[in-house]
Chain A
């Protein structure tokens, strides 16, 4: 129990673990959907504290990781153009495109700026009327209300120099894709808490029923995750498959109706490609016709993009929970945070980055004097 003292309430953590241990009589495989949960699990060694019957499988819940390569390449192309101010969240700076990243584009003279909020990008557009300001609008349901508000405001203010490069994705269709894959081993889900803070829980009962999987809405602090696991295992042992809310302090049944209304005004559901996974029907949002003028893909001709994924990168299998990062031959050797092959190694929510930073054995790290030596990298969220 070497990690447990790091928990904010070690006694409660022990109690939850004891209860999970006492409850689990059969092997169960649970998927955590949120990349923030993956980092919390690996950082606190939760997967190693669990009884061996309970396995955690990491899901595709990192928006940076699943943004398709062609969209990254479009971002790089637009960001390289003169007259453009390209705005992005910091996480996207080092996500590799086919032959470079935004960090490099900036080094080559592109005007790439990191913003904290899409409204900051909107302010840049107001302050630079002679420049085209493009915001890289990625994210799950949690981020969509912010991006929707930015474009809504742009139209209200009559800003003609602001646009979004949209790559929004939705969780429920991804759950469906995972459960219908022939090699799927997932028997229960820890649903992403903050996605549900926005969307509520209405989309999940149908999935829980159809695939007969418990879905427990879970926060991302260590105790939240243990509680989510405890409830999912309890359901599985009882043969139940319900939606439960283990994160009621931040998630209401109805979510945030004002935020959902804004999403629905600005975006419409569309098919999306997921990096490493492929096309998932109805798994994303795009701007509606009323807001199409603010779509960077319409404003800039980026149709000639040719993409090429590195052949040795197995991020797609990691994102689908088919392999653990350490099972990839490139992990920790040719693929490190300094030289990432895929987004999962560089994103602050990526599973490969979590394993590289916090873990530990199995990783083929460079050996120096008998102890594993890692590159110095900043800790990630």
Chain B
């Protein structure tokens, strides 16, 4: 949960309260709260932590981070099945 993952804003739901958008994290898409970066636009990159966009990020930095996260398997870690992982760690899988 420490990870703050960069993602691209795909769409924004202006009617949602709090403000919500669909974010693309290198192929995985998830909804995130945009209330703390409320003037963000579709196509911009943001840093998302536990479902909340916290800051904007430039495209080059965002893509570099995403590439690194993917190589290290961190995206799977962040968005994968936590129970499966816990079972593996506990040796019960």
Residue A90 lies at the interface, judged by CB distance under 8 Å to chain B: yes
Closest to B86 in A: A93
Residue B65 lies at the interface, judged by CB distance under 8 Å to chain A: yes
The answer to whether B38 touches A258, judged by C-beta atoms less than 8 angstroms apart, is yes
Separation of A197 and B50 alpha carbons in the complex (Å): 14
| Chain B nearest CB, measured from A42 CB (Å) | 12
Name 17 interchain pairs, CB-CB below 8 A, sorted by A: A34-B2, A35-B2, A91-B82, A93-B83, A114-B82, A117-B52, A118-B50, A142-B54, A146-B52, A194-B4, A197-B54, A250-B57, A258-B37, A348-B2, A377-B89, A379-B72, A380-B77
Q: Which of B2, B77, B86 is within 8 Å of A63, CB to CB?
A: B2
The answer to whether B51 touches A120, judged by C-beta atoms less than 8 angstroms apart, is yes
Residues of A close to B27: CB separation below 8 A = none
**Are A249 and B49 also in contact (CB < 8 A) when A197-B4, A258-B38 are?**
no
Q: How many residues of B contact A (CB 8 A)?
A: 41
Residue B42 lies at the interface, judged by CB distance under 8 Å to chain A: no
Residues of B close to A153: CB separation below 8 A = 18
Q: Which of A106, A142, A346, A381 is within 8 Å of B89, CB to CB?
A: A346
The answer to whether A143 touches B1, judged by C-beta atoms less than 8 angstroms apart, is yes
Known: A103-B87, A378-B89, A379-B77. 20 other contacts (CB 8 A): A35-B2, A36-B2, A89-B50, A89-B82, A93-B86, A116-B30, A117-B33, A118-B51, A142-B2, A146-B49, A194-B2, A221-B64, A250-B47, A250-B55, A251-B55, A259-B52, A377-B88, A378-B77, A378-B88, A381-B78
Chain A, residues 116-131, CB within 8 Å of chain B (1/0): the string is 1111100000000000
**Are A93 and B91 also in contact (CB < 8 A) when A35-B2, A117-B33 are?**
no
Closest to B84 in A: A378
Residues of A close to B83: CB separation below 8 A = 90, 93, 106, 114
The answer to whether B36 touches A90, judged by C-beta atoms less than 8 angstroms apart, is no
B-side residues, CB < 8 A to A, are 1-4, 18, 30, 32-33, 35-38, 47, 49-52, 54-55, 57-58, 61, 64-65, 67-68, 72-74, 77-79, 82-83, 85-91
| Chain B nearest CB, measured from A4 CB (Å) | 15
The answer to whether A381 touches B67, judged by C-beta atoms less than 8 angstroms apart, is no
Separation of A139 and B68 alpha carbons in the complex (Å): 24
Residue A14 lies at the interface, judged by CB distance under 8 Å to chain B: no
The answer to whether B54 touches A198, judged by C-beta atoms less than 8 angstroms apart, is yes
The answer to whether A103 touches B90, judged by C-beta atoms less than 8 angstroms apart, is yes
Separation of A146 and B18 alpha carbons in the complex (Å): 11
| Chain B nearest CB, measured from A144 CB (Å) | 10
Residues of A close to B90: CB separation below 8 A = 94, 103, 338
Separation of A297 and B73 alpha carbons in the complex (Å): 37
The answer to whether A103 touches B88, judged by C-beta atoms less than 8 angstroms apart, is no
Separation of A259 and B38 alpha carbons in the complex (Å): 11
Interface centre among B1, B57, B83, by most chain A C-beta atoms within 10 angstroms, is: B1
Separation of A197 and B4 alpha carbons in the complex (Å): 10
| Chain A nearest CB, measured from B21 CB (Å) | 13
The answer to whether B82 touches A90, judged by C-beta atoms less than 8 angstroms apart, is yes
The answer to whether B54 touches A256, judged by C-beta atoms less than 8 angstroms apart, is yes
The answer to whether A378 touches B54, judged by C-beta atoms less than 8 angstroms apart, is no
The answer to whether A381 touches B74, judged by C-beta atoms less than 8 angstroms apart, is yes
The answer to whether B54 touches A145, judged by C-beta atoms less than 8 angstroms apart, is yes
| Chain B nearest CB, measured from A165 CB (Å) | 15
The answer to whether B49 touches A90, judged by C-beta atoms less than 8 angstroms apart, is no
Separation of A8 and B70 alpha carbons in the complex (Å): 12
The answer to whether B86 touches A94, judged by C-beta atoms less than 8 angstroms apart, is yes
Closest to A138 in B: B1
Residue A337 lies at the interface, judged by CB distance under 8 Å to chain B: yes
Residues of A close to B68: CB separation below 8 A = 8, 221
